[in-house]
Amino acid sequence: MAPKFVSDRNLRFLLYEIFNVESLAQYSYYQEHSREIFDIVLDTAIKMGRELLLPCHAAMDKNPPTLADGRLSVNPVVRTFLTECGEGGWISAGASYEHDGQQMPAIMVSACQFVLSAANYSASVYPFLCSGAAHLILSFGSQELIERYVPPMFSGLWQGTMALTEPQAGSSLSDITTQAVPTNEGHYLLRGQKIFISAGDHDGADNIVHLMLARIKDAPPGVKGISLFVVPKRRIRDDGELEANDVHTVTTYHKLGYRGTPITQLSLGENADCRGYLVGEPHCGLKYMFQMMNEARISVGMGAAAIASAAYYASLKYAQERPQGRPISQKDPAAPPVPIITHADVKRMLLFQRAVVEGSLSLLLQCSLYQDLQKVTEGEEKERYSLLLDLLTPVAKTYPSEMGVLSVSQGLQCLGGYGYCDEFPLEQHYRDARIHPIHEGTTGIQGLDLLGRKLFTKNGKAANLYLQEVQSVILRAKAVPALQPYGKLLEEAVNELQAVTLHLAQYAMKGEYDLFLADSTLFLELFGIIAIAWQWLLKGIACQKALDGELTRIESLFYQGKLHTMRYFFHYELPKIYGLSRRLKEVDGLTAHMNPELFED
Amino acid sequence: MAPKFVSDRNLRFLLYEIFNVESLAQYSYYQEHSREIFDIVLDTAIKMGRELLLPCHAAMDKNPPTLADGRLSVNPVVRTFLTECGEGGWISAGASYEHDGQQMPAIMVSACQFVLSAANYSASVYPFLCSGAAHLILSFGSQELIERYVPPMFSGLWQGTMALTEPQAGSSLSDITTQAVPTNEGHYLLRGQKIFISAGDHDGADNIVHLMLARIKDAPPGVKGISLFVVPKRRIRDDGELEANDVHTVTTYHKLGYRGTPITQLSLGENADCRGYLVGEPHCGLKYMFQMMNEARISVGMGAAAIASAAYYASLKYAQERPQGRPISQKDPAAPPVPIITHADVKRMLLFQRAVVEGSLSLLLQCSLYQDLQKVTEGEEKERYSLLLDLLTPVAKTYPSEMGVLSVSQGLQCLGGYGYCDEFPLEQHYRDARIHPIHEGTTGIQGLDLLGRKLFTKNGKAANLYLQEVQSVILRAKAVPALQPYGKLLEEAVNELQAVTLHLAQYAMKGEYDLFLADSTLFLELFGIIAIAWQWLLKGIACQKALDGELTRIESLFYQGKLHTMRYFFHYELPKIYGLSRRLKEVDGLTAHMNPELFED
C-alpha cells in the first residue's frame, strides 16, 4: 500500500465543513460547480499523486536533472505528468470558459496542489508554473500573445516560467538590468542574464515560455522602469514552425533539495537575436508580475505545508509501529517495549507537526477562498476580500515555509537515527522543505511587505477587516462553553498584537522607518502564529458542533483529534507570541543602528 | 586565503580572559602547563584545521565512504590525520604522564576539538573516538587490556569506537540483546547486531577496537545486566599478529550529512568466533560507558557549535561582500546598492548565529573546566564540580545541537538562493548539523535526564550549586552600572526558572511522574537559554572591564562587538523563556494523557 501523504478526510473537512465550497455555486461564475464535481476533482488529484508522482519522489531526488550537450534532461515522468495535466484540464482549471478553462474555484485548485505537492513537490511545480504564466498572459497580454502562447501551455506541451532574478538583483528587483531594445518589427531584442529560474529549461516540454522582467532601453531607473515580456526558448515563425530564440541555458544549480526541478541560469541574446514580446504597457511589468508572484507565494506556502504533511504521516506511521522504551510508570525492565507514540514527547512532536500542517493548510485555503470571493463580488465586498488576501499573502507564504522546516525536522527527529538516513523519506523532505523560506521572496522580504506595506494600506483598512474576521470567530467560540477559554486566549493574543502594532506605528509616524521595520520578521512571526490560532479556533467550533451530534466512533475520534490538536496549538504555540511581543515593544535600534564593524572577530 | 571557520581571538578571550586556564597550573597535576604551551597547542590545532582538514571538507561529503568486497574505504586524509594526531600526541593529550599522555586540561582539548570540528566535523570525529575509547579502557580495564589496546589507539593506528545501539534498542539501552558467553580461556564469545556505529569500520586504520555493551548469558534484565567489552575487529594472537575476529560490516548508512564518517551496522559472531574481553566487573557496563558517553555528549555539543561557527563565518563574509538593496531611508533607485550586512534583518540573523556559537562554546568550555577542577580537587569541592558537570551535560549537549541547527539555517538564509546551492558550504553545514540533536542521546532523552534525574540529584544539591554560580555572576553584573539591567533580566529569568521547577516538583512529589516529565524537552530548552544568558553575562563583565581601560581601536571593537552580542541575546533570545514557562506551568496532561488513537486521520 502506498504510504499516506495527505489526509483525504481532513481536506474534505476543510473544504466542505469549514469553507463551505459548495456555496460558491450561488455566484453565476461558479454556478456549474457542485460537491459532486469537487469530489471527483479531489479524488483524481489524490489518485494522480499516489500513482504517478509518489512513486518517483525519491528517484527524482537521487537522479537530478543533468545538462549535457545543450540538453537539460529531466525524469520522463515530467513529460507524462505535464501531458496528463494538460489533457485533464488541470493547467487551465482556473481559467474562464471563454479561455477554455473550467472556472474552477481557486480554493479547489489550491487543495489539489496541496495533494500533488505532498506526493512529490518537485514534480508538482511544473504544471503550476505553466498555469501561472498562462494566466499572466491572459490577464495582460494582447489577443495575439494569448492565441499563440496560452493553448500550448494549457495543454502541457510548453513549459511556462517566471524569470525575474538576476545575478546582481535577487531580493532587489528594482536593480534588474536585462535590456529590451525595441525594433520596427513589433518585438524587442533582449540581452541579459537570469538566474534561479525554476523549470527554466528541460526536455519534458517542447518549448519554454518565460514571463520575463526586463528594462526597455532608456527606461527610468528602479521599479518604474521594469516591463514584462514573453520570451520563448523557441519562437514561432510566421509559418508556424519553431526556431531557436537565442536563449541559452548556462547551468542548472546543484541544490540541497527540490532536486527534481531544474533551477537554471539563462543567458539571453548572446547573438543579439533574442526576441521578446511586450505584455501590456511598457514600465508596468512589476505590477503585472505581482499577480503571478502573489499566486506563487500562496503556492509556496502550499508546497511547504504539503511537504510537512508527507513528513508528518511518515513519522506518524513510524511512531505507531516502532517499539522502544516503556511508560514512565513501568519499572519492570522485562515488560515489553511500547510503540513510541505512547511517549509524551513523541506525541508532542506529532501534535506540533499536525498543528503546523493542518493550520497552514487551513490558512492557505482561506486565502484562496478570498481570491474566489474577490473575483465574483463587487464594490465594497470585492475590496474587502482583495484587501484580506493581500494582507494575508505574506503570512500564508511565510508561516508554512518557516514552520514547515521545523515541522519536518521534528518528523525526522521522531525516527531518531533512521530519520537521518535515506532509507526513510524524512531526510529528503528535510532538504526539500528548506527552499520555501527563500524562493518567491525571502522571509525578511515578506516581513517588510506585511509591516511596511500591507498592514497600513488604506489607513489600516486591511488590518481592520482582518481583526473583524478574527473577532467574529472569537465571539462564536465564546458562545460555545467548551471553547470559551480558547476564545479568551485568542482575544488576549489579538490584544497583544494590537498593542505591539500601535507601539510600532509611533515610529512610522515619527518617520523613523528604520526602527519601525527593524524587527519586521519577528512581527510577521507573531502575526502568523495568531493567524493560525484563528484558523484552529474556526475549526474547533465546527468540531465541537459535530461532536454535539450523533457520530460513529471513527468520526468522533476524528473531531476529537482535531480539537486536541487545536488545544495543542493554543497551549504550546500561541504562548510564543509573548516572548516575541516583549522584544517587539523594545524598539531600541539594536540591529538597525548597529555598526557592522562590530562583527569583526 | 582559507576561509575563516573559527575566531582565534575569541578562543583566547574565553580561555584566558574568562576561564583563566593558566591558573590550572596551580594544581600539581597541571603544573607543567603554561600559557605558552596552550598557545602553541591552539596554534597547531588551527593550522591543522586550516591546512589539513578544511581543504577536504567538501570532498569527504561528495565522496562518502563506500563498502565493496568487504573493504570500507574512506578518504585517504583519514589515515593521514589519525597518524598526525597520534604522532602529535593529540589522541593521548588528556591522559596522565603515567599512560604516556600529556595531562592536558580538558578545556584545552575541548577548545582544540572545536577548532578541528569547525574545519571538518566528519574528519574530527575519528581521533576523538579513539581517545574516548582508550580512556574508557584506562579507567576500567585490566593492565593487560591497557597494554594491548591503548598504545595503538593513542598512536592513531587503531580506531576506537563506542558500540551501544542495536536494531531493537536505540534510546532504550536496557533492551540490548547482544550476548556474551563466557569461555574457559578468559574471553567471551559475542553474538549480536550493532547499528549506527560511528567509524565502526574503515581502511584509514589498521584495526578497529569496539567498546561494546553486551549482556553476559543469564544476566539480569534491564540496565543491571549490561557489561562492557573490548571487541576488536582483528584480535591479537599470542604471537602478536592480528587475525579476524568474526566482526562483519553489514552496511554503511547513506545519510543526510556527516558523510565523511562511515556509520556502520555490524554483525558479531556469525561463525561463533567473535571474542570479547570484559572491561571491569560484570554487569557494570552501562555505568562505565557513561564516562565515555558523558564526554561524548560534551563532544557532540562542541561539534554542533563548531559547525555553526563555520557556517556563521561563511555567512558573515557573504553579507559583508554581497551588495543588494538600499537603506530604508534611501528612496533614490539610482543610488548604489549596499552590502547586505547593513540591513537590520541581516544583522539580526548574524547576531543570532554569533550569540548561539559563542554562547554555546562558552558553556561547553565551562563544562570542560568543571571536568578539570573535579579531577584535581578533593572532598566537597570535588563533589561540587562533579555535580555541576553532571547537571550541565544534557544542557551543553542540547542547546548547541538544537540551536546549532537553527543557527546554520539562518546562515544559509543570509545567502538566499545561493545558500541552497552547493557552490557555498552552507547547505553542507545544514545537513551535517542535523545529526547532533540525534546522536549520543536525542534531545528528548536529554530532557528526561535533566529534569528526571540530574536536577533533583542529592535533594537538588546540583541545582543549588548551579544557582549559586549564576547568582554570583548576577551579583557581579549588578555592580557594573552598564550591566545592571542585564543582571536584573537574568535574575528575573532565574526566578522564573525556579517558579517553574517548584511547580513541576509538586507532581514528582505526588508521584505523578508522567505529568512531571511530560514537557521535559521544553524545560530543557528553557534551562538552556538561561544557561547561555549566564555565560553571556559572564563575558559581558569581562568586556566591560576591558573597555574601561586603554584599548586599540581593533580591541575596542572586539569587546564592543561581544557586548553587543550579549545585548542581542538578552533582548531577543532570553524573552523566549516566558512563552516556555507559560506552557510549563500548565501541566494538563495534554500529551501525557492523550489517547494515541486521536492521531487517526
SS3 for A493-560, per residue?
HHHHHHHHHHHHHHHHHCCCHHHHHCCHHHHHHHHHHHHHHHHHHHHHHHHHHHHCCCCCHHHHHHHH
Q: Which of A326, A518, A598 has the CB atom closest to B560's CB atom? A: A598
CB proximity list for A270: less than 8 A, separation 6 or greater: A246, A248
What is the C-alpha separation between A330 and A341, in angstroms, rounded? 16
Nearest to A278 by CA among A144, A400, A440: A144
Q: Which of B342, B517, B519 has the CB atom closest to A596's CB atom? A: B342
What is the C-alpha separation between B163 and A66, in angstroms, rounded? 41
CB A218 within 8 A of CB A259: no
Q: Which of B438, B554, B596 has the CB atom closest to A342's CB atom? A: B596
CB B209 within 8 A of CB B232: yes
What local confidence, expressed as pLDDT, does residue B214 receive? 98
B601 contacts A9? CB cut-off 8 A: yes
What local confidence, expressed as pLDDT, does residue A467 receive? 98
Chain A interface includes B88 (CB < 8 A): no
Nearest CA in chain B to A441: B416
Give me the catalytic one of B166, B358, B427, B440: B440
Angstroms from B457 CA to nearest CA on chain A: 18
Nearest to A198 by CA among A72, A350, A361, A345: A72
**pLDDT tens-digit profile of A420-467?**
999 999 999 999 999 999 999 999 999 999 999 999 999 999 999 999
The three cell numbers of residue B518 are: 511530560
Chain A interface includes B193 (CB < 8 A): no
CB B120 within 8 A of CB B276: no
B596 contacts A347? CB cut-off 8 A: yes
Residue B39 has pLDDT above 90, yes or no: yes
Chain A interface includes B211 (CB < 8 A): no
Dihedral angle computed from the Cα positions of residues A473, A479, A481 and A484, in that order, rounded to the nearest 10 degrees: 40
Chain B interface includes A596 (CB < 8 A): yes
What's the whole-number mean pLDDT along residues A493-511? 97
Angstroms from A350 CA to nearest CA on chain B: 8
B422 contacts A256? CB cut-off 8 A: yes
Angstroms from B582 CA to nearest CA on chain A: 7
Helix (H, G, I), strand (E, B) or coil at A575: coil
Angstroms from A382 CA to nearest CA on chain B: 32
Please give the backbone phi and psi of residue B455, each rounded to the nearest 5 degrees, phi first.
-65, -30
CB B89 within 8 A of CB B100: no
What is the C-alpha separation between A85 and B503, in angstroms, rounded? 58
Q: Which of A175, A348, A443 has the CB atom closest to B591's CB atom? A: A348
What is the C-alpha separation between A292 and A273, in angstroms, rounded? 27
What letter does residue B5 receive in the DSSP assignment? -
- Residue with the three cell numbers 510577521: A524
List the end-to-end C-alpha distance of chain A, in Å, as a whole number: 55
What local confidence, expressed as pLDDT, does residue B171 receive? 87
Q: Which of B409, B438, B582 has the CB atom closest to A420's CB atom? A: B438
Q: Which of A165, A320, A576 has the CB atom closest to B579's CB atom? A: A576
CB proximity list for A124: less than 8 A, separation 6 or greater: A53, A113, A116, A117, A303, A306
Q: Is B439 left (phi over 0), alpha (psi -120 to 50) or beta?
A: beta
Angle, helices A121-140/A106-119, rounded to nearest 10 degrees: 150
Vertex A538, ends A535 and A542: CA angle to 5°? Answer: 140
Q: Enumerate residues 277 to 316 of chain A having a beta carbon within 8 A of any beta carbon in chain B.
A: 316
Tally of CB atoms within 10 A around B151: 16
Chain A interface includes B569 (CB < 8 A): no
Q: Which of A350, A419, A448 has the CB atom closest to B599's CB atom? A: A350
Residue B170 has pLDDT above 90, yes or no: no
One-letter identity of residue A477: A
Percent of the residues in chain B that have a pLDDT greater than 70, as a whole number: 100
How far, CA to CA in Å, does A311 sit from each of A359, B62, B170? Answer: 15, 25, 21
What local confidence, expressed as pLDDT, does residue B307 receive? 98
B256 contacts A341? CB cut-off 8 A: no
Q: Count Cα atoms within 13 angstroms, Cβ side, for A514.
A: 17
Q: Which of B253, B325, B417 has the CB atom closest to A172's CB atom? A: B325
A409 contacts B434? CB cut-off 8 A: yes
Q: Enumerate residues 443 to 462 of chain B having a beta carbon within 8 A of any beta carbon in chain A.
A: 443-444, 447-448
Beta bridge partners of A190: A180
Please give the backbone phi and psi of residue B169, each rounded to the nearest 5 degrees, phi first.
-135, 90
Tally of CB atoms within 10 A around B510: 10
B413 contacts A420? CB cut-off 8 A: no
Residue A1 has pLDDT above 90, yes or no: no
Q: In sequence order, what DSSP letters do the residues of B333-361 get, joined into one string?
A: TTSPP-BGGGSHHHHHHHHHHHHHHHHHH
Among this protein's residues, is A440 annotated catalytic? yes
Chain A interface includes B325 (CB < 8 A): yes
Residue B99 has pLDDT above 90, yes or no: yes
A256 contacts B430? CB cut-off 8 A: yes
What local confidence, expressed as pLDDT, does residue B215 receive? 98
Q: Chain A to chain B, count of Cβ pairs less than 8 Å apart?
A: 283
B437 contacts A333? CB cut-off 8 A: no
Chain B interface includes A221 (CB < 8 A): yes
Q: Which of A421, A447, A520 has the CB atom closest to B255's CB atom? A: A421
Nearest to B405 by CA among B298, B308, B317: B308
What local confidence, expressed as pLDDT, does residue A331 receive? 84
Nearest CA in chain A to B196: A417
On average, the pLDDT of chain A sits at: 97
One-letter identity of residue B199: A
Q: Enumerate residues 349 to 378 of chain A having a beta carbon within 8 A of any beta carbon in chain B.
A: 350-351, 354
The three cell numbers of residue A560 are: 476529537
Give contacts of A427 with chain B, Cβ < 8 Å: 255-256
B421 contacts A438? CB cut-off 8 A: no
Q: Enumerate residues 17 to 76 of chain B having a beta carbon within 8 A of any beta carbon in chain A.
A: none
CB proximity list for A54: less than 8 A, separation 6 or greater: A2, A3, A5, A119, A120
Tally of CB atoms within 10 A around A27: 15
Which pLDDT band holds residue B292 (cuts at 50, 70, 90)? confident
What local confidence, expressed as pLDDT, does residue A97 receive? 97
Please give the backbone phi and psi of residue A192, each rounded to the nearest 5 degrees, phi first.
160, -170
What is the C-alpha separation between B153 and B205, in angstroms, rounded? 10
Angstroms from A421 CA to nearest CA on chain B: 4
Give the largest CA-CA distance in chain A.
88
How far, CA to CA in Å, does A120 sit from each of A55, A59, A199, A260, A306? Answer: 9, 11, 15, 9, 9
> Among A63-67, A106-110, B170-174, which is the least confidently predicted range?
B170-174
Which pLDDT band holds residue B601 (cuts at 50, 70, 90)? confident
- Chain A interface test: which of B343, B510, B560, B569 (most A C-beta within 10 Å): B343
What is the C-alpha separation between A229 and A188, in angstroms, rounded? 9
> Among A231-235, A331-335, B497-501, which is the least confidently predicted range?
A331-335
What is the C-alpha separation between B524 and B395, in angstroms, rounded? 7
What's the whole-number mean pLDDT along residues B327-351? 94
Angstroms from A427 CA to nearest CA on chain B: 6
What local confidence, expressed as pLDDT, does residue B344 receive? 98
What's the whole-number mean pLDDT along residues A298-311? 98
- Residue with the three cell numbers 514600465: A283
Angstroms from B560 CA to nearest CA on chain A: 7
Pairing of strands A179-182, A207-216: parallel
What local confidence, expressed as pLDDT, does residue A426 receive? 98
The three cell numbers of residue A420 are: 537521518
Chain B interface includes A442 (CB < 8 A): yes
What local confidence, expressed as pLDDT, does residue A292 receive? 87
The three cell numbers of residue A589 are: 535600534
What local confidence, expressed as pLDDT, does residue B178 receive? 98
Give the largest CA-CA distance in chain B.
88
**pLDDT tens-digit profile of A50-97?**
999 999 999 999 999 999 999 999 999 999 999 999 999 999 999 999
Residue A252 has pLDDT above 90, yes or no: yes
According to the 3-state scheme, what is the secondary structure of A186-206?
CCEEEEEEEEEEECCCCCCCC
What is the C-alpha separation between A486 and A494, in angstroms, rounded? 12
**pLDDT tens-digit profile of B461-491?**
999 999 999 999 999 999 999 999 999 999 9
Chain A interface includes B585 (CB < 8 A): no
One-letter identity of residue B340: I
Percent of the residues in chain A that have a pLDDT greater than 70, as a whole number: 100
SS3 content of chain A, % helix, strand, coil (to 5): 60, 10, 25
Helix (H, G, I), strand (E, B) or coil at B169: strand
Give contacts of B170 with chain A, Cβ < 8 Å: 324, 416-417
One-letter identity of residue B304: A
What is the C-alpha separation between B233 and B213, in angstroms, rounded? 15
Which pLDDT band holds residue A170 (cuts at 50, 70, 90)? confident
What local confidence, expressed as pLDDT, does residue B526 receive? 98
On average, the pLDDT of chain B sits at: 97
What is the C-alpha separation between A354 and A352, in angstroms, rounded? 6
CB B516 within 8 A of CB B508: yes
Which pLDDT band holds residue A590 (cuts at 50, 70, 90)? very high
The three cell numbers of residue A489 are: 486566549
Our measurement of the distance from residue B37's CA atom to the centroid of its chain's CA atoms, rounded to an integer in Å, reads 24
Give me the catalytic one of A295, A440, A496, A573: A440
Element (H, E) at A210: strand A207-216
Residue B331 has pLDDT above 90, yes or no: no
- Chain A interface test: which of B17, B328, B451, B560 (most A C-beta within 10 Å): B328
Element (H, E) at A268: strand A263-268
Nearest CA in chain B to A6: B601
Give contacts of A122 with chain B, Cβ < 8 Å: none
What's the whole-number mean pLDDT along residues B585-601? 96
Which pLDDT band holds residue A347 (cuts at 50, 70, 90)? very high
- Residue with the three cell numbers 550529512: B257
Nearest to B245 by CA among B280, B283, B277: B277
What local confidence, expressed as pLDDT, does residue A171 receive? 87
Please give the backbone phi and psi of residue B17, each rounded to the nearest 5 degrees, phi first.
-90, -30
Tally of CB atoms within 10 A around A66: 11
- Chain A interface test: which of B168, B406, B556, B590 (most A C-beta within 10 Å): B590
Q: In sequence order, what DSSP letters do the residues of A218-245 get, joined into one string?
A: TPPSGGGGEEEEEEESEEEPTTS-EEE-
Beta bridge partners of A166: A169
Q: What counts of helices (H) and strands (E) characterise chain B? A: 18, 12
Pairing of strands A247-252, A263-268: antiparallel
